[in-house]
Structures are given as C-alpha cells and as structure tokens.
Structure 1
C-alpha cells in the first residue's frame, strides 16, 4: 500500500520547464490508480529546489533520516503524500491538469529556443528521436510498512 520514489531526473537542458512536476505528479497519479495509499521519498536537506517542487506537488515533510547520503554526508528529509485522505484525489487531479498546461507551454518555448540554436535541425527528431528529457523510478512496498 506504499510506493517509494527512488529517483527523479530531468535532462539538464530541460530543467525549469515543468517536466519534473509532471513526472512526480504522474508517479503520484499512477500510485493512486494502483490503490496505493502512501507515496514516500527522500531528498537532501540542502536541495531547496527539489523540496519546493515536492511540496508544490502535495508531498509533506514527515521526518529526517540522519546521515542518509554519503558523498557528501548529509541528512535526508522524508516526504510523503497520503493518497487516501479525503479530497486527495481531487487535489491531485487539479494539480495534474494545471501541470499539463504549464509543461506544454514550457516545452513549446524550449523547443523554439532549441530550434534557433540548431540551425535547421528538426525539433521533432531531437525531442522524439532519443533525447531522454526526464525519468522517475518507483518501487512499491519497499519497506513492508509505513515509515
């Protein structure tokens, strides 16, 4: 009944255009659709941008894992989203709808910028022909119980 976000990565050239939001919201939606009640993840306490992203997507800080990261050594914040709370599905659906519009606009803008830089190279080939824009990795019931 728990999904754990193992990693979330966005291609450096495509950061700050909404793809990370879309990825985490897609993970939350997939977990909700699969009947999961909880989504958890760890994030470096110094990673303010990621923490803000996760909070905008409905995750809340619930704890800390001391010395979780090794190089450099740092605590992790434990964030969760409770998918079974009243209104959670509606809130998630609203976040996903808003995010889709933001990502489409941002991708169009980024594609236009890249088109100018590529001197005629096809945007479609570049985007759809193998450039990985982002990825999220999930694991279900990794801990066997809630943290």
Structure 2
C-alpha cells in the first residue's frame, strides 16, 4: 500500500496482460542502494507458478515483459492447433519422460530415427513380424536353439 503513494511506478505492461512492472528501492539492512524494476508474471501466463525477474532499467523490464506475453500468446495459439486427445496423450507421457530424465524432443528424435529411418518404408509392426518370421524359420531349420526361440516369443 505504501508503494501507491511513494511516487514509484507500478503498472501493468503490456496493458491487459496481467504482467506487473514495479519500481523498487533496493535496501539491505539500513543501507539504500540503486533502484530497480521488478517484473511479475502471474501463474495464468506461465502456466505453472508466478515468475519474478528484476532489472536495472525500465526499458529492459518492458522488453522482457513483452517477450513473456508474446510467448504466452503464441503458446495459446498453438494450444488450439492440437486435438484434446493429443493434449491428453502428452500430459500422460510427460511424467514418464521426466522420471526417465528424457525431454520430449529427445524421445521424439529417438523414435523417429528408429521407427521411420530415412528411406525406410516399413512400420515397426512390419519389422517385428519380419523378425518373428525369420526366428521361426531359423528354429524350424535347426539354426536357432530352442531357448533363444522361446526367449523371443
């Protein structure tokens, strides 16, 4: 409440975004230092928790606030480009990826290289069926031990 009457700026930027820019006087104990600008990005924009960052200059704070809001708007637009089912699938997979310490991008790159290699025309199911047929044939010919055959199936 004191900031309201202190002469320090306290504004929403960009207008209507919910992002607040506040001038602050930096203090430590009884000592007063230079001022700064604190930017507060609300949880409704970050999608998780409130985010704060402090800048020496007002212009730098505005640039960062703009960037945060543009990112929020872009993410919002992307949100509507995927189906509810795709969103649910992602939400269900995310804990597994986090537990394994793998990013979504890493998992996708790994899968694409193996399931759809360059020049590859077979699906994973076709490859599995092909390997199973080969194992069966080798077992029937006597080229594959029974234990190896059973382990595969």
Q: What TM-score, normalized by structure 2, do the two folds share?
A: 0.25
Q: Which has the larger radius of gyration?
A: 2
Q: What TM-score, normalized by structure 1, do the two folds share?
A: 0.26
Greater percentage in helix: 2
Q: Greater relative contact order (Cα 8 A, min sep 6): structure 1 or 2?
A: 1
